[in-house]
Structure 1
Amino acid sequence: MIQTKLVDSELAEWTIQQRRHFHMHPELSGQEYRTAAYVKEKLTEFGIPLDSRFSAPNVIALFKGTEGKKTIALRADMDALPLQEEGDNKPYISTVPGVMHGCGHDGHTATLLGAAKWMSENPKLVKNNIVLIFQSSEEASPSGAQQLVKEGVLEGVDVIYGIHYISGMPLGEIGFATGYAMASCDDFEITIEGKGGHGGYPHETVDPIYIATHLIQAFQSIVSRNLNPLHAGVISIGGMQAGHSFNVIPEKVSIQGTIRAMTFEAAELMHQKTAQLTESLCASFGAKGHYRLIEGTVPLYNHPEACEAAKEIIEKSFGEGVFAEKEPVMGAEDFSYYVKEKTGAFINVGMRSEKSQYPHHHPKFDIDEAAIPAGIELMIQLALNA
């Protein structure tokens, strides 16, 4: 467990109790109205003004610093996942059937609230203006971050930071990858229209299942033969639906998948090539291919200057041996929309332990609450020193 300088046991325990409240009352993306109301209630108690210009259920507040020469934005996401939680020994297990905080957003929301509470109790120590972003719909498309950026949440902001409690990183470590750190993630849907018929007379049909097998193989050539090998990318097929009979060739096939890329250039190339191949390959077999791209998130770029400042803050706040430089990952996170527009960085707070041994989006996922004091301290130190 990391030792903290500003976060005492009372604030840590208060924040943990907030996290358990959020965990017991999860809400899906775009439906976080009770969560938002609770956050607003606490911010109002702290005397921190709310900004009503932004769409619900997002909650935006501004803490005015003593000098206000710089404006730092801190972001937490609030939404849960459509999962049935497992683990009956938890005293704070989800009370909502089929919905749970399986990615740690309950911890992020509570941590930012804890940092806000500290700032309200120590206002003279906060020189910067602090924009507090409690964001809806990180787990959904369209992205909640993208919507807030369109609404102007970053106007006047100099730098933005976000944190994520990570079960894949040891408890006691804090770190990030500099530069491109996380991939984009976009979904696609494809419908192949052929000509159905009897399985014994395939020559009288245009078999969309057979065509689909060629298309799936062809998509992998985009990564192996069109994409710059130095630009990571992956195309995954997650679903395919066709007929229901042993001996009937169906009229249509539906395919669903994702495109992930580590750079903006790679994402654009894969978008174009998947669409082109769908149309041309299907046409070559005498079928029609219909392609629909569903925009998700862009690549997440951690700005080197923001990373350098964050690393210095981590080392000064927690001592040597806590910071860990991480490798980029092909996971996605809509914090990417903030750092596409403004200087900033997304920071991982490790929590892998016996309590937090399950991966994110697993029905037994849980936060090791021993990591939360360090998360609060990090948010406060970023507010004071970024």
Structure 2
Amino acid sequence: MADMEIDSSLPSDSVLEALEDLLDKYHSAGPSCRIKYKVPTANELHQKNTSLDQLQHHLPSIQDQLGPLVNALGLRHNSSPNFELTCKLLFTLGDTWWQTLICIEAATLHTMPPATHDHHLKRCKAFNYTQLFKVMSCLACNFSSLFSGSILLMKASKVTSNYSETLECQNQHTYLLQDSATCSVAILRALELLQGSDFRIIQHAWQQTKHSPDPLLIDVTRLTHSAMIEGQTTPDARMKHSMVLNQIAIPLIKLARTLSNKVSKTTTTKLPFTLDAHLNSETLTLLHQYPQSIEINFRELVRALERTPRVIPMVQGQSLIRHWADKISRILESTLVALALYLIPFPASDIDNDSSGNDFKAWFLAWQVAWHCAIEKFLAALRRFEASQFPLTPVE
């Protein structure tokens, strides 16, 4: 009986062909990351903001249609597919997506170059467009996968009467649920970009890497307890030195985590701050890239610690460790300077304005002092071992 109900709702070949034509249309007109730079006129800026407002309207509409589509496809537990309804929903969803693409194209047609003073453009800055493109490209990819997967599911159901009982169908259900969930997340992120502040966008980047130090700490801690090279009964001078470096590296990672936790906090009662509203896209992009740069270079440092001297010669390993430690220190110094320049305290009242500002500066100063002590201790350990290997090398 269930199969008869499913068969009666199966779409005709012409309907499936129409859906495939729509899919080809979306593929040929997806969001492009190529931004044409031009100073927009007041009228053009108004049109851009209007398009972004419309985009802000269409995205929740897509979100609202995802749930009914999942139900119509029969992806929920104990639900039966209704492919006739599925086709109607896909046509409606496709039309909404097309309107979304038109809005993106209109909003991002021209904008000022990132290095110019474009802060007055607010959400029409190159920085904001770049972040929006990333999210919308992700949404386009998963939307396309959801759309094409739905068509494939219906086509396969037409060919095989008991397709719903096959492993292939179960896998297809899993993929479609994943695509739907990812679309939903991307829509929420796009709405955050459209509605949130520049500081919130930057904080999101720090939040994305907030937990990245945790596995690195686990790895380095493990290294301090596994100083033996395979086949050795006692650690030699090289392994003892490696143990010392691993132990001293732990405070470096913890300090980076502390900084990340502080900047990524969206609400705080102790050190509330916000971002200078007069930053151009170039500066905002730099602030946005810092957390990922820190994460990547710490990962490389830990990798060098893991491989020295187990996999690579000690001299080569020492050179790599120094390289990554120096690079991390430079990035963190630049990060701290930028944060000190562009983050401003946000007092709870005018009375505690001076106090809030002083606390804000004191925290960064204390962190900087702690970092200088930790990195100098790490580099000094490197120098001591180099001096022991090459006695003529002076130890600073």
Larger Rg computed on CA atoms = 2
Q: TM-score under structure 2 normalisation?
A: 0.29
Please state which structure has a larger fraction of its residues in strand.
1
Q: Which has the higher contact order (CA 8 A, sep 6+)?
A: 1
Q: TM-score under structure 1 normalisation?
A: 0.29
